[in-house]
C-alpha cells in the first residue's frame, strides 16, 4: 500500500463486415485477453505528442495497474487484470530483497520475480519493472523496500521517523546523507549499475517485459530550509540537471549492457505534481537503431494524498498537465504515467478526480498504471472487497483504444456511454478497442461511424473483456471515425 503523504510535507515537495449500428454478439469462448503488441517505435504528432507504436505503425495505448512492492501478486491477480481487458502491469521491485549481499542476486527472490513474469507471459500482459524506493531504504523504516543497508551511508547523522508523515523522512539529515553518497560515491555508483545489469540479464527473454522504470520518485540532497518552496524548486532543478541526470546515464548504460530490447523510462522529482516542470536533460540511448526511452511521471494531488476530498477549483489537473507536457514534447518521448489515483475514490471529489485524471491522461499520455491492484475499502485499492471496481474508480475501467490506425485519438464519457474517436490514417489497418468486463457485465451495444467501417466484435461479459476491431479499407487519411459503446 502506498503510504499517505500529509499536505504540509507534500506542499514542500512543491473480418466481419457489419453496417454501422449495434454490433453483433460473439460467443465468449476466447482467451481472457489477446496479447498486446510490443512497442517497437514511436510516432510524433505536429503538436509534439509522441506515441508508442507497434511493428505496423499503429499507435498504442497501454493501461493497467501497479502490483504490490514485493512481487507477491497471485496468478488470480494477473489473470483478473488481463480478463478485465488491461494490457500492462507495473511491478515494483526491491534492490534490498534482490541483492541482500553485494554482487549476488537472491535465488528465491529471482524465482518469485520470474514466476510473476511467467504469469504475465501466459496472460498476455506487458510488465514495466519499477526500481522502487520510499525514503531510501530499510535503514529508515522502509521495511525491505529500496536501497539495501550495505549501500546506505548516513554519516552517523540523526533520523527520526514521523509516524504521521512518512514523506517527511526525506528531509532527515541521515536520509539526505544517504542519497548524497549514492549519487557521489564511485563504489556505490558501480554497485548500483552492476545490480541493474545483473537483473536485466536475468529478466531478458520474457516476452512480457516492456522495460524498466529506472528509479521511483527520485529525491536528493537539500541545502536550505525545506519549508521554503523556492529552496525546494531550486534543489529539484539542481538534482535533475546534475546528480540525477548522471545517475540515469549510468543506469541506461547498465541495462543496455544486457538488454537492447527493453524500454527505459526516466522519472522527474515529485515536484511535477505541484506544477513545477522538470529540468531533466535529454538522454541518449546506446542501443542499435531508434532510441527506446520514455518519460514516466506520477500524477498525485497534495491535498488528496493528505486525506482531503478533491477540490476541482484548485486547478490541480490543469497545472499538472501544463507542467508535464513540455519535457516529453521537447525530446519526443512517449509518456507513461507510472502512478496515479486517490487513497479513497469513494469520496465525491475524489470520484470526480479519477474521471478528470483519466480524461487528462488521454490527452497527453500513451499509457498509465493506477496505484494499485488490491481489494479493500480505501487505502488506494482499486477493487472493493468482492473484487469489483471500487466505487468512484469506474472511469479507470472504461473502454479504451488498444492499437489505433490513426491520429488525434480521444476518449470521452457521458455516464455509461463512451465515445472513442480518431482520424483514420488511410492505411486500412485494423484498430482495436478493449471493452473491460466490469463496465459491460451483460455485453455492449456498439455503433461505429462512418458506415463503411468493417467491424468484428468479441462481446464482453461478466468475466471476460471484449475486443472490438474496426477497419476502414477505403477511408482517406484524416477521415473522422467514432465508436460509441454502451452497456446492454
Q: Are 417 and 486 in contact (CB under 8 A)?
A: yes
| φ and ψ at residue 251, rounded to 5 degrees | -75, -35
Strands (E), 49-151: 50-53, 59-60, 62-66, 88-93, 126-131
**In whole numbers, what is the pLDDT of the chain averaged over residues?**
91
pLDDT tens sequence across 123-150: 999 999 999 999 999 999 878 889 999 9
DSSP-derived letter for residue 119 is: H
Domain 7-14+61-398 fold is TIM Barrel (3.20.20)
The proportion of the chain whose per-residue pLDDT surpasses 90, expressed as a percent, equals 82
Q: Within 13 Å, how many C-alpha atoms sit on residue 142's CB side?
A: 28
pLDDT at residue 37, as a whole number: 86
**H or E stretch at 417:** strand 417-424
What's the pLDDT tens digit per position in 282-317? 999 999 999 999 999 999 998 999 899 999 999 999
Which of 319, 313, 233, 306 has the alpha carbon at shortest distance from 269?
Answer: 233
Check residue 27 and give its pLDDT: 38
**418 within 8 A of 412, measured Cβ to Cβ:** yes
pLDDT, tens digit (0-9, with 9 covering 90-100), for 148-176: 999 999 999 999 988 888 889 999 999 99
Residue 71: per-residue pLDDT? 61
The model's pTM:
0.93
Domain range summary for the chain, segments of one domain joined by +: 7-14+61-398
CA-CA distance, 146 to 135, in Å (whole number)?
8
Q: What is the phi/psi pair of residue 146, to 5°?
A: 100, -150
User: How many residues appear in the chain?
Assistant: 488
**% of the chain exceeding 70 in pLDDT:** 92
pLDDT at residue 51, rounded to an integer: 97
Phi, psi of 286 (to 5 degrees): -80, 0
Cα(115)–Cα(70) distance, rounded to whole angstroms? Answer: 12
CA distances from 308 to 311, 316, 353 (A): 9, 14, 12
Task: Record the cell numbers describing residue 373, joined without a space.
Answer: 491492484
* Cis bond upstream, residue 346 (ω within 30): no
pLDDT class for 94, splitting at 50, 70, 90?
A: very high
Distances (CA, A) of 215 to 114, 424, 476: 20, 37, 43
pLDDT tens profile 370-425: 999 999 998 899 999 999 999 999 999 999 999 999 999 999 999 899 999 999 99
- Are 105 and 99 spatial neighbours (Cβ–Cβ below 8 Å)? yes
Report the b/e string of 213-228 with b at 16+ CB within 10 A: bbbbbbbbbbeeebee
Rg of the chain, C-alpha, whole Å: 22
Number of Cβ within a 10 Å radius of residue 368: 26
Residues 6+ apart with CB under 8 A from 292: 39, 211, 261, 262, 263, 264, 285
- The pair phi, psi for residue 317, each rounded to 5°, is -60, -40
- pLDDT at residue number 70: 64
Q: Is the dihedral of CA 274, 132, 68, 143 positive or negative?
A: negative
* Cis ω before 372 (30° cut-off from 0): yes
| pLDDT band of 121, cuts 50, 70, 90 | very high
CA distance readout (Å), 301 to 7, 65, 156, 376: 9, 18, 34, 21
d(C-alpha 298, C-alpha 218), whole Å: 11
Query: Taking 50 as the threshold, does the pLDDT of residue 456 lie above it?
Result: yes
Identify the helix (H) or strand (E) that includes residue 413. strand 406-414
- CA 479, CA 471: separation in Å to the nearest integer? 12
Amino acid at each position: 500500500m502506498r503510504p499517505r503523504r500529509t499536505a504540509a510535507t507534500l506542499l514542500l515537495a512543491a473480418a466481419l463486415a457489419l453496417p454501422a449500428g449495434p454490433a453483433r454478439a460473439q460467443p465468449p469462448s476466447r482467451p481472457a485477453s489477446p496479447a498486446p503488441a510490443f512497442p517497437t517505435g514511436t510516432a510524433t504528432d505536429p503538436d509534439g505528442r509522441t506515441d508508442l507504436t507497434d511493428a505496423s505503425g499503429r499507435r498504442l495505448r497501454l493501461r493497467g495497474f501497479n502490483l504490490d512492492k514485493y512481487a507477491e501478486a497471485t496468478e488470480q491477480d494477473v489473470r483478473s487484470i488481463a480478463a478485465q481487458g488491461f494490457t500492462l502491469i507495473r511491478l515494483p521491485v526491491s534492490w534490498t530483497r534482490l541483492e541482500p549481499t553485494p554482487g549476488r542476486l537472491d535465488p528465491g527472490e529471482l524465482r518469485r520475480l520470474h514466476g510473476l513474469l511467467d504469469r504475465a507471459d501466459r496472460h498476455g500482459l506487458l510488465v514495466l519493472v519499477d526500481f522502487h524506493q520510499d525514503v531510501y531504504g530499510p535503514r529508515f523504516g522502509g521495511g525491505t523496500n529500496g536501497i539495501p543497508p550495505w549501500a546506505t551511508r548516513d554519516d552517523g547523522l540523526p533520523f527520526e521517523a514521523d509516524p504521521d508523515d512518512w514523506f517527511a523522512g526525506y528531509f532527515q539529515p541521515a536520509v539526505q546523507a544517504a542519497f548524497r553518497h549514492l549519487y557521489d560515491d564511485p563504489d556505490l555508483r558501480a554497485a548500483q549499475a552492476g545490480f541493474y545489469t545483473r537483473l536485466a540479464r536475468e529478466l531478458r527473454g520474457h516476452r512480457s517485459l516492456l522495460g524498466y522504470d529506472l528509479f521511483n520518485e527520485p529525491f536528493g540532497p537539500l541545502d536550505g530550509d525545506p519549508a521554503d518552496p523556492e529552496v525546494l524548486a531550486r534543489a529539484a532543478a539542481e538534482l535533475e540537471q546534475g546528480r540525477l541526470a548522471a545517475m540515469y546515464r549510468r543506469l541506461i548504460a547498465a541495462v543496455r549492457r544486457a538488454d537492447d530490447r527493453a524500454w527505459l523510462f526516466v522519472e522527474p522529482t515529485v515536484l511535477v505534481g505541484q506544477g513545477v516542470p522538470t529540468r531533466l536533460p535529454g538522454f541518449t540511448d546506446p542501443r542499435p537503431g531508434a532510441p527506446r526511452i520514455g518519460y514516466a511521471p506520477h500524477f498525485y494531488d497534495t491535498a488528496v494524498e493528505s486525506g482531503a476530498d478533491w477540490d476541482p477549483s484548485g486547478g490541480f489537473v490543469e497545472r499538472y498537465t501544463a507542467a508535464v507536457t513540455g519535457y516529453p514534447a521537447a525530446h519526443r518521448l512517449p509518456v507513461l504515467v507510472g502512478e496515479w489515483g486517490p487513497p479513497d475514490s469513494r469520496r465525491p471529489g475524489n470520484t470526480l478526480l479519477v474521471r478528470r485524471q483519466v480524461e487528462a491522461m488521454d490527452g497527453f499520455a500513451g499509457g498509465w498504471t493506477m496505484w494499485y491492484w488490491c481489494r479493500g475499502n480505501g487505502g488506494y485499492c482499486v477493487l472493493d472487497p468482492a473484487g469489483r471496481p471500487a466505487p468512484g474508480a469506474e472511469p479507470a475501467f472504461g473502454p479504451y483504444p488498444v492499437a489505433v490506425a490513426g491520429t488525434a485519438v480521444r476518449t470521452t464519457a457521458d455516464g455509461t456511454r463512451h465515445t472513442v474517436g480518431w482520424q483514420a490514417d488511410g492505411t486500412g489497418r485494423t484498430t482495436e478497442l478493449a471493452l473491460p468486463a466490469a463496465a459491460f457485465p451483460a455485453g455492449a451495444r456498439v455503433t461505429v461511424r462512418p458506415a463503411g467501417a468493417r467491424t468484428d466484435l468479441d462481446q464482453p461479459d461478466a468475466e471476460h473483456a471484449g475486443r472490438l476491431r474496426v477497419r476502414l479499407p477505403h477511408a482517406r487519411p484524416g477521415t473522422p471515425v467514432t465508436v460509441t459503446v454502451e452497456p446492454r
